Each structure stands twice: as C-alpha cells, then as structure tokens.
Amino acid sequence: MQTALVIALSLHVLSSVFWAGSSFALARTGAAGGEQLVGPQLGAATIAILTGGYLGHLVHSGSFGAAEQVLALGAVCALIAAGIQAAIGPRALLSLRRGTREAADVRSRIATAQRVAAALLAITALCMGAARYV
C-alpha cells in the first residue's frame, strides 16, 4: 500500500506541476507555442486527475470533513480547467491545421483557455495547500 501511495503521489505531483506550470506560462505569453503543448497538457491533466482521485480514495475515504470539502473544491476546479482546455485546445489545433483560421486567432483562443485554466488551477493549488490547515 505504501509503495502504491508513493507512486501515485509522485505521478500526481509531477503531472500537476507540468500541467499548471505550462498553463501559467502559456497564459502569460499569450500562448506562444501553445499548439505544441495541447496534447502534453491534456495527458498531464488526465494523469493528475486520475492519480488525484486514487489518492483521495486511499487517504480520505470514509469521511467528508472540512479538509475533504476543500480538496473537493480544488478537484472541481481542476476538472473544469481540464474541460476548458480539452474543449478549446484540440479544436483550435484542427482549425489551424486546416487553415480555416489565422494563426493569431487560434493563439488568441488558446491563450484565453489557458488564462481561465490557469486561474482555476491556482485555486486548485490553494485548496490543496489549505486542506492541511482546515
């Protein structure tokens, strides 16, 4: 059980740091190079969400106290962020590859998605930190 916990925690932290960090960077730079990170971000988001659910099951099953409620709020924000990125990113890439939209318009759409996702992921990070003290 401890080995599974360490592996899940490591995967969760590494994928979450990449996902949030790349979202923050793309939000700040106006999605410069964002088309290359759509796939890796969605992969990292998937791993982060799955391992987060597994960690929640291992560590917090059986109770829904204040700490679990704060973590649930963070999880909901992460799910919304992943949904926004999944809804906008691949569609923007398709339109870029087909040539139906200009590159500046596509980057603008990706940047908007990244800004919203970055704000939601910041809330998620705050919830994960605050859950220890509630």
Q: pLDDT, tens digit, for every residue of 28-80?
A: 999 888 889 999 999 999 999 999 999 999 998 888 999 999 999 999 999 99
Find the mean pLDDT for residues 3-10. Answer: 94
User: Which of 7-16, 70-79, 99-108, 124-133 has the weakest average pLDDT?
Assistant: 99-108
Q: How many residues does the chain have?
A: 134
% of the chain surpassing 90 pLDDT: 70
124, amino acid identity: T
SS3 string of the chain?
A: CHHHHHHHHHHHHHHHHHHHHHHHHHHHHCCCCHHHHHHHHHHHHHHHHHHHHHHHHHHHCCCCCHHHHHHHHHHHHHHHHHHHHHHHHHHHHHHHHHCCCCHHHHHHHHHHHHHHHHHHHHHHHHHHHHHHHC
pLDDT in tens, 105-117: 888 889 999 999 9
Q: Is pLDDT of 132 > 80?
A: yes
